[in-house]
C-alpha cells in the first residue's frame, strides 16, 4: 500500500435499518486528493443476497442516514463542498430528489426523528450577534475581542464555544410529494424552532418515546470548574429544561442518552469523575439504566472491565427494553446487547472492530472493520455474521494488504504486553518502526491501519502494542501509569520491541 492508495480507503458509517428490516443505508466516505477533503455518498445495502448494494445519493459528502420510524422518509446530512457546512436533507425512502430543510449558518451537527415521523430534532451552533458571519456588516477581522472568563471556552475542531453554543432545534418535515415552487427565488424552508437557550453545548438530543419532550445532555451553567454533564428534558413546545439525572453523589460526564422503546427506562453512557468532578483518567464509560418514573440508576456494564466508548459508538435500541452498545476489548471492539434489568449478551466479538449496529424489523445490521477491510456491512444471520458488502475490494486488488501478526510478550516484571507485528514482504532483516499510540487511554486494534500498511510497503516492520495505560484491558491496566508516565508504559513498549 502506497500513499497514493489512501483514496481507496472507504470508511463505512453506522447502519440505518429500514423498519421492515429489508435493507440498511450507510454512508461510505473516502479521502479525495483533488478536493482535498473527504467525499462520499449513501449506499443502500439489501439483506437479500441476490441484490447488490447500490449508491443512492450523489452529494459531495452525504452522511448520518436515518429512516423515519414509519419507513417513508430517509433523512441525512449533506455537505456541499470542502468549505461548506452540513445541512439536513430528506428524501423519500423509495428514492427521489433530496430536499434541504435547514440553512443553518454554522451547519447541523446531529439529529433524531420523532416517534410520529413528522418532526426532527437537531443540534446546531447558534452564534452571538456579530460573530461568525451572522451579520454582513461585521467581517471576521472586525469582530470584537473575546474576554475569556471561564475555563471551558473552546474545543478541538470547534474553536471557541461560548460565543456559539450548540442548541437544540425542532423542524417539521414537509410533505415530500408536494409540487415544488416554480419561483426562481431560493426554496422556502420549514421554520426551525429553537428549543434550548443554554450557555453550554446541548448534545445527544433525542425525542422521548411519546414524542412530548426532548432529552439532551449538557453541562450545568455552574460547573465550569469541572467536567460534569447532566441529562435534561424539555417540552417540544419549549420552556425551561428540567434536570433528570444522573442521580448520585459522584459527578459524571454523560455522553449519550436514549429512552427505551417501552418508555420505562432511560439508557445513558457516562464516566465517573471522582469527587472533584475532574478525575477522568482511565475512567471506563458505563451504560446505565435509569427508571423513567424516578429512582436510582443501575450500571449495566462493569466499570472495571468494560469500556463502552468505542469511536462512533452510540446507544441503539432493540425490542422494548434493550440496548446495543460497543465495547473496547483488547484490541477489538465488541457489540453488546443489554437489558434494562441487567441481563446481557455478547453479540459480535473476535478479530474485528464493530463501528456501528442497528436493529429493526427482525434484522440486525453491523458495520465493522477487520485486518483486510477498512469498513463493510454485515447482517447477523443464524448466530453468524454474513457479509453484505466489499467496499475494500479495489484496495485489496490494487495493493498487498499485510495481515498483522498478533503477539504477546512479557515485560521485565512479567506483565503481558499485547500487540501486533505488520511484517513487510521478503526474508529480511527489516528496519523496525515502534509505533506508539496517543491517549494514553486509547488502543491499537486489529482493524486495517493505513499508516502501518504504508510503512510496511516501504520495507519497514511495524510494531504496535497496547502498554499499561491503554484502554480496552480493564481499569487497572489503564490506571497503572497514572502520575507515572514513562515508567511501566515505557517498560512495556521496549519489552515488546525486544520480544
Mean pLDDT throughout 459-483?
96
Give CA–CA dist 78/42, Å, rounded.
Answer: 10
Mean pLDDT throughout 294-307?
94
Q: What pLDDT score was predicted for residue 451?
A: 95
- Are the CB atoms for 462 and 433 separated by under 8 Å? yes
CA nearest neighbour of 226 among 152, 301, 160:
152
Residue 181's pLDDT band, with cuts at 50, 70 and 90, is low
| Percent of the chain clearing pLDDT 90 (strictly above) | 88
H or E element in which residue 450 lies: helix 450-457
Residue 182's pLDDT band, with cuts at 50, 70 and 90, is low
| Residue 49 reports pLDDT greater than 70 | yes
| pLDDT tens, position by position, 130-166 | 999 898 888 888 898 999 999 999 999 899 999 999 9
Judged by average pLDDT, the poorest of 28-42, 177-191, 239-253 is: 177-191
| pLDDT tens, position by position, 64-106 | 999 999 999 999 999 999 999 999 999 999 999 999 999 999 9
In this predicted model, which residue has the larger pLDDT, 294 or 165? 165
Give CA–CA dist 243/441, Å, rounded.
Answer: 30
Mean pLDDT throughout 418-424?
97
| Residue 368 reports pLDDT greater than 90 | yes
Residue 183's pLDDT band, with cuts at 50, 70 and 90, is low
- Are the CB atoms for 330 and 472 separated by under 8 Å? yes
**What nine digits make up the cell of 483?**
502520575
Q: What pLDDT score was predicted for residue 185?
A: 61
| Residue 10 reports pLDDT greater than 80 | yes
How buried is 260 (Cβ within 10 angstroms: 0-12 exposed, 13-18 middle, 19+ buried)? Answer: buried
Q: Please, what CATH class does the domain formed by 8-126+165-397 belong to?
A: mainly beta
Mean pLDDT throughout 179-195?
79
CA nearest neighbour of 318 among 362, 382, 285, 286:
362
Question: What is the total residue count of the chain?
Answer: 499
Q: What pLDDT score was predicted for residue 90?
A: 97
Task: Kindly report the average pLDDT of the chain as a whole number.
Answer: 94
Give CA–CA dist 328/311, Å, rounded.
Answer: 9
H or E element in which residue 394 lies: helix 393-398
Residue 277's pLDDT band, with cuts at 50, 70 and 90, is very high
Q: What pLDDT score was predicted for residue 281?
A: 92
Q: What pLDDT score was predicted for residue 431?
A: 97
CATH of 402-498, one of 3.30.465.10, 3.30.70.1560, 3.40.50.1820, 3.40.630.30: 3.40.50.1820
Q: Where are the domains of the chain?
A: 8-126+165-397, 402-498
Judged by average pLDDT, the poorest of 39-43, 219-223, 239-243, 266-270 is: 219-223
Give CA–CA dist 306/410, Å, rounded.
Answer: 23
CA nearest neighbour of 14 among 328, 324, 382:
324
> Within 10 Å of residue 156's Cβ, how many Cβ atoms?
5
Amino acid at each position: 500500500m502506497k500513499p497514493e492508495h489512501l483514496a481507496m480507503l472507504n470508511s463505512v458509517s453506522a447502519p440505518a435499518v429500514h423498519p421492515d428490516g429489508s435493507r440498511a443505508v450507510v454512508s461510505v466516505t473516502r479521502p479525495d486528493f483533488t478536493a482535498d477533503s473527504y467525499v462520499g455518498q449513501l449506499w443502500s445495502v439489501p439483506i437479500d443476497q441476490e441484490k447488490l448494494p447500490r449508491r443512492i445519493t450523489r452529494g459531495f459528502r452525504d452522511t448520518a442516514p436515518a429512516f423515519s420510524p414509519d419507513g417513508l422518509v430517509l433523512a441525512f446530512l449533506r455537505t456541499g463542498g470542502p468549505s461548506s457546512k452540513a445541512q439536513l436533507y430528506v428524501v423519500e425512502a423509495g428514492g427521489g430528489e433530496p430536499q434541504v430543510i435547514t440553512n443553518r449558518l454554522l451547519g447541523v451537527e446531529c439529529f433524531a426523528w420523532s416517534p410520529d415521523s413528522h418532526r426532527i430534532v437537531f443540534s446546531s451552533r447558534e452564534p452571538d450577534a456579530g460573530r461568525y458571519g451572522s451579520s454582513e456588516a461585521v467581517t471576521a477581522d472586525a469582530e470584537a475581542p473575546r474576554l475569556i472568563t471561564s475555563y471551558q471556552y473552546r474545543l478541538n475542531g470547534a474553536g471557541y464555544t461560548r460565543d456559539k453554543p450548540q442548541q437544540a432545534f425542532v423542524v417539521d418535515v414537509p410533505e415530500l410529494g408536494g409540487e415544488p415552487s416554480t419561483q426562481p427565488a431560493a426554496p422556502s424552508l420549514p421554520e426551525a424552532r429553537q428549543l434550548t437557550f443554554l450557555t453550554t453545548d446541548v448534545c445527544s438530543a433525542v425525542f422521548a418515546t411519546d414524542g412530548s419532550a426532548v432529552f439532551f445532555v449538557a453541562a450545568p451553567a455552574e460547573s465550569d470548574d469541572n467536567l460534569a454533564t447532566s441529562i435534561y428534558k424539555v417540552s417540544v413546545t419549549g420552556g425551561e429544561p428540567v434536570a433528570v439525572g444522573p442521580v448520585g453523589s459522584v459527578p459524571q460526564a454523560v455522553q449519550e442518552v436514549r429512552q427505551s422503546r417501552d418508555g420505562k427506562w432511560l439508557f445513558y453512557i457516562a464516566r465517573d469523575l471522582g469527587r472533584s468532578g475532574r478525575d477522568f483518567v482511565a475512567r471506563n464509560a458505563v451504560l446505565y439504566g435509569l427508571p423513567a418514573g424516578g429512582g436510582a440508576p443501575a450500571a449495566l456494564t462493569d466499570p472495571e472491565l468494560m469500556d463502552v466508548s468505542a469511536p462512533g459508538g452510540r446507544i441503539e435500541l432493540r425490542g422494548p427494553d434493550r440496548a446495543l452498545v460497543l465495547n473496547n476489548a483488547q484490541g477489538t471492539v465488541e457489540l453488546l446487547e443489554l437489558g434494562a434489568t441487567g441481563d446481557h449478551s455478547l453479540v459480535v466479538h473476535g478479530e474485528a472492530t464493530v463501528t456501528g449496529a442497528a436493529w429493526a424489523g427482525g434484522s440486525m445490521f453491523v458495520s465493522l472493520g477487520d485486518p483486510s477491510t477498512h469498513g463493510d456491512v454485515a447482517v447477523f444471520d443464524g448466530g453468524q455474521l454474513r457479509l453484505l458488502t466489499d467496499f475494500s475490494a479495489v484496495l485489496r486488488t490494487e495493493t498487498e494488504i499485510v495481515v498483522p501478526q498478533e503477539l504477546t510478550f512479557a515485560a521485565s516484571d512479567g506483565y503481558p504486553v499485547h500487540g501486533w507485528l505488520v511484517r513487510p514482504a521478503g526474508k529480511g532483516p527489516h528496519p523496525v518502526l515502534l509505533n506508539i499510540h496517543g491517549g494514553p487511554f486509547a488502543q491499537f486494534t486489529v482493524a486495517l491501519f493505513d499508516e502501518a500498511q504504508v510503512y510496511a510497503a516501504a520495507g519497514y516492520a511495524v510494531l504496535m502494542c497496547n502498554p499499561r495505560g491503554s484502554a480496552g484491558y480493564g481499569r487497572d491496566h489503564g490506571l497503572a501509569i497514572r502520575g507515572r508516565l514513562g515508567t511501566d508504559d515505557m517498560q512495556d513498549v521496549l519489552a515488546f520491541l525486544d520480544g
